[in-house]
Structure 1
Amino acid sequence: MTPSLAHTALRRKIAAHRPVAPSAPELEGATTHAFGRALRRAAMPFEGLGLALGQVGVDRRQALHAVIAALPDQGLAAALEDEQGRRGLIGLSAGLVDALVEVQTTGRVEATELPPRPVTRIDEALTRDFVDLALAAFAQEGQPITKRDWPARMAYGSRINDRGQINLLLPEGDYTVLQGEIGFDGVARQARFVMAMPRVELAGLADQGPEGKPTDPAWIAARDLMLAELRLSLDVVLMRLSQPLMQVDRLAVGDLIPFSLADLHEVALEDGQGRVLLHGRLGQIGGRRALRLPALPDVNAKAAAQDPSPALPDTVLSAARRATG
Structure 2
Amino acid sequence: MLRLLTSLLAALMLAGACAFAPSVPAITEGEVIYLWPDGPPGGVPQSLTEHIVHRDNPFGLPDRAAHDVTAPSLTIFRPAVPDGSAILIIPGGGYRWVVMDKEGFEGARHFASRGATVYVLRYRLPHQGWAAGPAAPLQDAQRAMRLIRSRAAEDGIDPDRVVVMGFSAGGHLAGLLATRFYEAVYAPLDRADSLSARPDGAALIYPVVTFTQPHAHAGSRTNMLGPEPSEAASASWSLETLVHPSMPPVLLMHAADDAAVPVENSLILHAALRVAGVPVALHIFETGGHGFGLRGLEGTPLAAWPDLVRDWGRGKGLLD
The TM-score with structure 1 as length reference comes to 0.27
Bigger fraction of residues in strand: 1
Bigger fraction of residues in helix: 1
Larger Rg: 1
Q: Which has the higher contact order (CA 8 A, sep 6+)?
A: 1
The TM-score with structure 2 as length reference comes to 0.27
